[in-house]
Amino acid sequence: MPFFIQANETLNLMVDQPDRILEADPENRKGLVINEGACFRFYHGGENGGRYLFYRVLGRGRMTFDKDLEAGKDYYIYLILKDQTNELSFDLSQNPTAPDGYTKDNSEKIGGFHTLCADVGEIEGHLLSGYQAGDILPNSVWCLNHRPRSSPEGMVYNPWHNILVDIYLQSGTGENAKSAYGVPITTNRSYADHAFDFWSVNKRFLTSDEFSPCMYGSNQATSIVGNQAPSLKTSGGHVDTNNRRMISHIGCEDGCGYVWQYLSGCYPVTKWHTGEQGSSLRVDINVMLGGGDWTGGSNNDHLVRNFAHSRYVEDEKIGARGCSDPFYYN
């Protein structure tokens, strides 16, 4: 991982960071770029002087990784001390606390990324066409000054709305709600329950305006292969009835034609109700759903919406996807 940094003792030092410290490498699907001018303050423990040193990247550097990257996994980038000197190096790990052989006291997490869960194949005009399992999803790269308010695992950036959105449909509930590959998705749950799940992990529902660009590039007018739910409803890596991967331009999985997804807000809907006194019009409060389900076929799309369900409904064909606003790091 060759690039040059300089170390100085620092007391009160004001610096300008680049807009993003880390980005995907456009020339290497398994590498990252660390931008020129990126600055870090690293603590050298008692055995190394018990002091903070200031490091600055002098030129745009590229980070390449010797180890193979597993598909559908989160990786973290750490600053570490090299050979007990003042020279810093970088390490890659799936451990969210510290890389192997280090602790949080002698390493510093500065960012991370998520890898593609399954080959995209060749899709004309798709931004991820040709990407293979284990490649770094470009929009999943996060760093100290470009990350969500929630935990960043399993998320990609939507540049049109400046939000980070879950790659996968929600799995788990409450504080265990997450975006992860290959695990059972959460369905048969009401709008309010999903909302509580997201509040518990600093996320929220997507709005209709946010949902469409996040799912843009997904399959259109098709459902998941077989036009039925998989025997175990899991997240990610699926293809549709045309054997085309169900993935959007930014990397969101299963956006259209798997399960409907709750979108933000409740809306008044006028319905006919029949009772002992006859029929009458009544206003119900319903939810908005997006994307379509496994029986929708030609009706499924990133623009399709459904207002037919009450906010109290629980249905095996309805799930959810979270998003988070950015955390601004000064």
Question: Could you report the per-residue pLDDT of 190-247, keeping only the tens digit for each?
Answer: 999 999 999 999 999 999 999 999 999 999 999 999 999 888 999 999 999 999 999 9
Q: Which of 115, 145, 175 is the last residue of a domain?
A: 145
Q: Is residue 245 part of a domain?
A: yes
Angle, alpha carbons 224-225-230 (nearest 5°): 75
Q: Which domain holds residue 24?
A: 1-145
| CATH number for the domain that contains residue 203 | 3.90.1580.10
* Closest of 134, 156, 132 to residue 146, by C-alpha: 156
Tell me the residue type at 6: Q
Determine the Cα–Cα distance for residues 35 and 302; give it in Å rounded to an integer. Answer: 34
Determine the Cα–Cα distance for residues 165 and 323; give it in Å rounded to an integer. Answer: 4
Whether the Cβ atoms of residue 151 and residue 46 lie closer than 8 Å to each other: no
Q: Is residue 151 part of a domain?
A: no
Q: Is residue 158 part of a domain?
A: no
* The two three-digit tokens of residue 129, written as one number: 């066409």
**172, 309: one domain:** yes
What predicted TM-score, i.e. pTM, was given to this entire model? 0.91
Neighbours of 232 (CB within 10 A): 9
Residue 141 scores a pLDDT above 90:
yes
Q: Dump pLDDT digits (tens) for 111-138.
A: 999 999 999 999 999 999 999 999 999 9
Q: Is residue 154 part of a domain?
A: no
Give the chain's domain count: 2
Residue 107 scores a pLDDT above 80:
yes
Determine the Cα–Cα distance for residues 94 and 70; give it in Å rounded to an integer. Answer: 10
Q: Dump pLDDT digits (tens) for 65-93.
A: 888 999 999 999 998 877 666 677 889 99
**219, 291: one domain:** yes
The one-character DSSP state at 50 is S
**182, 326: one domain:** yes
Q: Is residue 153 part of a domain?
A: no
Give me the pLDDT at residue 13, please: 53
**127, 179: one domain:** no
Give me the pLDDT at residue 45, please: 65
Average pLDDT, the chain: 90
